Amino acid sequence: MTVQRVLITAGAGGIGRAIVQAFMAQGAKVFVCDIDADGLTRLEADFPGVKSTLCDISNLADIEKMVALAAQTLGGLDVLINNAGIAGPTAPVDQLDPTDWAKVVQINLNGTFNVTHFAIPHLKKSAAGSIINMSSVSGRFGYPNRSAYSTTKWGLIGFTKTLSIELGADNIRVNAILPGAVDGPRFQNVLKGRAQLSGRSIEEETVAALGTQSIKHLVNPNHIADLAFFLASPSGESISGQMLPIDCDMQHTS
């Protein structure tokens, strides 16, 4: 297997950091962008050889410069992991500030489009290009009080399916990963938001969230990273246009 050249957005923490670790462990050349300067400093200290830059995924000019720098630094591009996204507020539609709605759309949907737009010319030069979009279980179900987040994650499904058709002739595979409730600070914040709306405790909200799953635990971010690595590897060369849930068999949202 040739050395893969990988661009990961929002790779300084959480799922993104786990994906960095998975690819670095297999000898890939990895470039990471994030808005968290301290997180990038820690990442470069923990994973010698990883390259990174600050980038605001809501800013088109930032993205254009970032993708060009990534391709130049790596000597090309084989894999794009569109991991950047924000959760947005927890509120019903009639109480959701339109500004907050627009911010979630700008980062989760427009940002993913813009990164991909600038990355495709580089990916077309790869012998085995792969794009992985990080959607969510929210891209399979409606999500009460999370309309902006859910809408953007559904949008990424349509984007993935369309890209897979457009780019198949260029031997570029495009897939989406749909994580469920992932163990980490972001989901804890979601639980806090639900508790504030419902008046229940965070513990009660946790039980309710796991109650929608056949397997009663939170998703390990390292397992999401393993799935991303598999999809981008030669073992995944026949997989494209697919939506892969990793959610402990979630049946519906709470």
Across-strand partners of 30? 6
DSSP sequence for 114-175: HHHHHHHHHHTTSSSEEEEEE--GGGTS--TTBHHHHHHHHHHHHHHHHHHHHHGGGTEEEE
Q: What's the confidence (pLDDT) of residue 47?
A: 97
Across the chain, mean pLDDT equals: 95
Confidence of residue 207 (pLDDT cuts 50, 70, 90): confident
Least confident of 15-29, 133-147, 224-238: 133-147
Q: What's the confidence (pLDDT) of residue 254?
A: 63
Work out the angle between the directed axes of helices 14-25 and 221-232 (0-180°, nearest 10). Answer: 50
How is the chain split into domains, by residue range? 5-180+220-245
Residue 213 pLDDT > 80: yes
Q: How far apart are CA 22 and CA 222, in angstroms?
A: 8
Of all residues in the chain, the percent with pLDDT exceeding 90 is: 82
Residue 190 pLDDT > 80: no
Question: Going by C-beta distance under 8 Å and a sequence separation of 6 or more, which residues neighbour residue 49?
Answer: 24, 29, 30
Residue 9 pLDDT > 70: yes
DSSP sequence for 213-234: BSS-SPBPHHHHHHHHHHHHSG
Question: Which CATH entry fits the domain spanning 5-180+220-245: 3.30.56.10, 3.40.50.720, 1.25.50.20, 3.40.50.300?
Answer: 3.40.50.720
Confidence of residue 212 (pLDDT cuts 50, 70, 90): confident
Q: Are 169 and 211 in contact (CB under 8 A)?
A: no
pTM: predicted TM-score of the whole model, two decimal places = 0.93
Catalytic residues: 149
Q: Could you tell me whether strands 29-34 and 5-9 are parallel, antiparallel, or unpaired per DSSP bridges?
A: parallel
